[in-house]
């Protein structure tokens, strides 16, 4: 940002100015991949890998920063994973490639990814990531350098994804159907293009040993994380996609009788018009939009659950920041007619605030809670989705309250965290009574244990005393017997002497 932009921001949005200033001053870069000490894991000392890092910056400004801060060889591995899937996605999205050429390209992309020297120059000139495929040989070279475990995962996910993409593009090219008809079909498409990414990332995290071995088997949670991000992008990019004749919204949602739309393009026909008819059309477009956002929100609690099981801080940041950006974007889009007119994004200051706050599962839960409350506050009772929107928001509130109760607060002082209960909350009274009862019960059990120990000790002492008495009696009997034997023996000796 230039000096003038900073001044304008200070005058128009002083709170955002403060957030951005705090971000630039206090946010520290966790890792410098260019540093010499990082070369063994980042690969920056190789020209081919440097070019791959450049492609990452060119194709994903949002993901590039968090990828670079991942620990060890995870950064390089996921950079290459992203570029492989970006190359595949570029071929799928390119409407200038005929289906008879696109099909074999897509279905063999996992093989091209490990074929030395392979490149593709047939993308349309308007494709923004065309250059990645033109120089794809550098990606191939670096993928072949990866640890075999990582390489196997990347190729396997690429193979699964390319098959799904090829099936959908072939259907659109041969049947004349340009729409996804049902929500189930929409879910399957999003699984191929994003849910599989979540699966691959989880498997890579597990293989790196920076996360639990079982994380790679959490397919449902991994899929939900990917679907939340993908569906948010599909909602936000409505206008851009429609103008490029990419129709991802399922007809089951926007074609409902309550909305009355025959074509996806009809949802912005109110643009530049006024009057009752235009207002009615805009309102119905908002209902369709809320239906899409409702569908995306059903993945939110799974995404939060996924974040709770992560242990490595760099991995957590990598997953949490896009998730909080997604919920903030859904908040921005909800009941916002501008979404139908242009591509809207959260402001830089908001993004900076989310990056700084997305540090642990509790903070992420609070961010989700904040944005769903804003969504619920703007929900319109006339919307056919109103009740279901309220329930979806309530589920996120419930998840947050279950895992991080609002009446329990953590206060940090002197480097130590202390739990403080909200005295105005009835649950605090119940918890204190329960803790008091448990403490009394524990004390009573300790006293019972002490009494039992003392009683056992007394019993043992008495038993030992009885044994001593018995031993004395036995000794007396033995002594008397010996005396009798000795007396008899003496008498016999005297008799023998007398008659000898």
Please say whether the dihedral angle defined by the alpha carbons of residues 74, 77, 83 and 87, taken in this order, is positive or negative.
Answer: negative
Considering 186, 205, 261, 318, which one is annotated as catalytic? 318
Nearby residues of 380 by Cβ (< 8 Å), 6 or more positions away: 286, 335, 386
Considering 236, 239, 284, 353, which one is annotated as catalytic? 236
**Any catalytic annotation for residue 407?**
no
Considering 246, 298, 347, 374, which one is annotated as catalytic? 246
Nearest-angstrom CA–CA distance, 64 and 57: 6
**Any catalytic annotation for residue 168?**
no
**Any catalytic annotation for residue 189?**
yes
Give yes or no for a contact between 400 and 407, defined as CB atoms under 8 angstroms apart.
Answer: no
Q: Would you give the distance in Å from CA 189 to the centre of its chain? A: 20
Helical pair 313-333 and 74-93, crossing angle rounded to 10 deg: 30
E-strand stretches of 241-280? none
Cα torsion at 62, 64, 70, 76 (round to 10°)?
Answer: 150
CA atoms lying within 13 Å on the CB side of residue 479? 6
Nearest-angstrom CA–CA distance, 17 and 327: 22
SS3 string, 103-171, reads HHHHHCHHHHCCCCCCCCCCCCCCCCCHHHHHCHHHHHHHHCCCCHHHHHHHHHHHHHHHHHHHHHHHH
CB neighbours (10 Å) of residue 337?
15
Q: Would you give the distance in Å from CA 307 to the centre of its chain? A: 4
Q: Find, among 296, 169, 164, 193, the residue nearest to 236 by Cα.
A: 296
Element (H, E) at 480: helix 426-499
CB neighbours (10 Å) of residue 71?
16
Please say whether the dihedral angle defined by the alpha carbons of residues 142, 148, 312 and 201, taken in this order, is positive or negative.
Answer: positive
- Give me the active site residues, please: 189, 236, 246, 318
């Amino acid at each position: 940002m230039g000096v003038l932009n900073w001044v304008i921001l200070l005058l128009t949005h002083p709170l955002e100015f403060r957030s951005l200033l705090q971000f630039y001053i206090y946010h520290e870069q966790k890792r410098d991949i260019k540093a010499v000490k990082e070369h063994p894991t980042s690969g920056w000392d190789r020209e081919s890998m440097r070019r791959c890092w450049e492609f990452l910056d060119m194709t994903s400004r949002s993901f590039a920063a968090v990828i670079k801060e991942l620990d060890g060889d995870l950064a390089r591995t996921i950079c290459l994973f992203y570029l492989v899937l970006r190359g595949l996605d570029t071929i799928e999205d390119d409407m200038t490639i005929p289906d008879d050429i696109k099909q074999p390209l897509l279905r063999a992309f996992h093989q091209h990814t490990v074929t030395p020297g392979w490149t593709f120059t047939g993308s349309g000139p308007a494709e923004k990531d065309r250059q990645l495929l033109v120089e794809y040989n550098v990606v191939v070279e670096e993928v072949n350098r990866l640890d075999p475990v990582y390489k196997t995962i990347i190729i396997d996910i690429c193979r699964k994804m390319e098959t799904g993409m090829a099936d959908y593009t072939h259907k659109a090219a041969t049947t004349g159907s340009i729409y996804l008809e049902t929500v189930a079909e929409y879910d399957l498409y999003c699984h191929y293009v994003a849910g599989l990414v979540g699966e691959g990332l989880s498997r890579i995290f597990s293989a790196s040993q920076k996360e639990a071995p079982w994380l790679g088997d959490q397919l449902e949670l991994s899929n939900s994380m990917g679907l939340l991000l993908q569906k948010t992008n599909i909602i936000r990019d409505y206008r851009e996609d429609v103008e490029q004749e990419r129709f991802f919204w399922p007809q089951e949602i926007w074609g409902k009788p309550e909305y009355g739309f025959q074509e996806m393009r009809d949802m912005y026909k109110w643009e530049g018009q006024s009057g009752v008819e235009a207002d009615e059309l805009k309102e119905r477009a908002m209902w369709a939009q809320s239906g899409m956002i409702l569908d995306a929100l059903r993945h939110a609690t799974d995404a939060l659950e996924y974040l709770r099981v992560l242990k490595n801080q760099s991995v957590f940041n990598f997953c949490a920041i896009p998730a909080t950006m997604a919920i903030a974007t859904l908040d921005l889009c909800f009941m916002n007619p501008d979404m139908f007119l242009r591509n809207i994004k959260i402001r830089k200051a908001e993004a900076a605030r989310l990056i700084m706050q997305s540090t642990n599962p509790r903070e992420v839960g609070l961010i989700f809670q904040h944005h769903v409350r804003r969504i619920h506050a703007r929900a319109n009772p006339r919307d056919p989705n109103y009740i279901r929107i309220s329930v979806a928001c309530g589920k996120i509130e419930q998840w947050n309250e279950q895992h991080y109760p609002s009446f329990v607060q953590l206060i940090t002082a002197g480097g130590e965290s202390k739990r403080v209960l909200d005295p105005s909350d009835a649950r605090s009274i119940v918890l204190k009574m329960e803790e008091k009862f448990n403490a009394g019960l524990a004390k009573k059990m300790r006293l019972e244990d002490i009494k039992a120990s003392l009683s056992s000790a007394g019993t043992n002492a008495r038993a030992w005393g009885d044994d001593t008495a018995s031993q004395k009696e036995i000794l007396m009997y033995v002594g008397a017997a010996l005396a009798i034997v000795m007396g008899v023996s003496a008498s016999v000796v005297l008799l023998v002497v007398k008659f000898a």
